[in-house]
Amino acid sequence: MAVKGPLGTKKKAASGKPRATSAKRGGRSVRGATTAGPIRVGILGQGRSGLDIHARFFTQSPRNYRIAAISDLLRERRTRAESELGCDTYRDYRQLLARDDIDLVVNSLPSHLHPTVTAEALGAGHHVVCEKPLAWKVADVDRVIDAARAARRILAPFQQSRYSPDFQKILQVIDSGVLGEIVQIKISANGFARRWDWQTLQEFRGGNLLNTGPHFVDQAVCLMGFRQPKVAFCHMGRANTYGDAEDDFRAILQRRDAPTIDLEISSCCAYSGDTYIVNGTHGGLSGGGGGLRWRYFDPKKAPGQKLIRAPLPGPSYCREKLTFTERTWSPNEAQRDRFSFMSKRFYDHLFKVLRKGAPLDITPRQVRVQVGVMEECHRRCPLPKLPPRGWRKGG
């Protein structure tokens, strides 16, 4: 199995070729939005993602992006944004969407608001970056894709882990062919932690699969060529969580034309080990963000063998000496800060999409395959729910 292109953009999606918005649509002025200079950004939500990932990057890239406004229900977050970011602030995100000078809206609101508010932002005439999960049902992905098409706007799912330096290197090694045919890939995004915030609640689309899962399910379907896999096995359970959503997830994904993917995202694993293990017919690879190692043999230089049906002489075994080549990779200084590195890769590319009409690397139709996997896992492994209590309204 070879992955064509480090981001999978040359592969066909589940329902055909990935669709890229044209250059004219990408640079078109809408309701007063700018067509030159820094892209004016409105950020919905100033929690961990909105502040620590998105706002943090924009402040480090003033030539390409400028934060024009943020919205958040909490007064202390709005006050901090006024002081630290020097931008306008709103309690109601709809007031931000009503502005005619915003080029790009980043939807970093809580997960359960992603599809609805993304559709609203597109309908208001803005390009949109939507945090993960883009949705939890394929029907909702189709709805926001339709909204982007109707508005002639760019919808960019924030799947920045596609740019993770270790994952990029894994794709390069697989694509080189030195490991032979890829038979199985194990992805383990495990750790040991207790959690008690809103992302432990099904009401707000919490749980490991919808929180951490979009990163690694996205990588899994990328490795499978963005064609919808079969969920051959799925387990979702609760271990150390204080909420009603799962924190112990396992699944096996299969297709005839792709390697089997064994995926774990567990919060009760005290010895987490390597994130990736790749098994191929000529060798294998193992490692994660801190580094990778792989070894392989050249079948052209290996001893010639043939099937022997008769018993081997004496009590003996099939033994041979294979000469393996060993390789390693370590992240460079820039890649060690993975969050900053991935955000920069994502937003540098998005600037080219919005200003120069480049096609998206990461398309909503690719993410649709990911969401299809997550939807099927939730359908097959439902968990009891706590009574809904609604979202805190803030001040």
164-221 pLDDT, tens digit per residue, is 999 999 999 999 999 999 999 999 999 999 999 999 999 999 999 999 999 999 999 9
Mean of the per-residue pLDDT values for the chain? 91
In this prediction, residue 316 has a pLDDT band, given cuts at 50, 70 and 90, of: confident
Second CATH level (architecture) for the domain 23-153: 3-Layer(aba) Sandwich (3.40)
Mean pLDDT over 369-383 rounds to: 98
> In the chain, what are the domain boundaries?
23-153, 162-306+319-336+374-380
Is the confidence at residue 297, as pLDDT, over 70? yes
Q: What pLDDT score does 19 carry?
A: 29
User: Which range has the worst mean pLDDT, 96-110, 241-255, 312-326?
Assistant: 312-326
Cβ proximity of 60 and 53 under 8 Å: no
Name the more confident of 57 and 24: 57
Q: Say what percent of the chain tops pLDDT 90.
A: 86
Is the confidence at residue 37, as pLDDT, over 60? yes
HSE value, Cβ hemisphere, 13 Å, CA-based, for 194: 3
- How far is 75 from 160, CA to CA, in rounded Å? 29
| Distance, C-alpha 30 to centroid of its chain | 29
pTM above 0.85, yes or no: yes
Q: Domain 162-306+319-336+374-380: what homologous superfamily?
A: Dihydrodipicolinate Reductase; domain 2 (3.30.360.10)
The dihedrals phi and psi of 307, each to the nearest 5 degrees, come to -65, 130
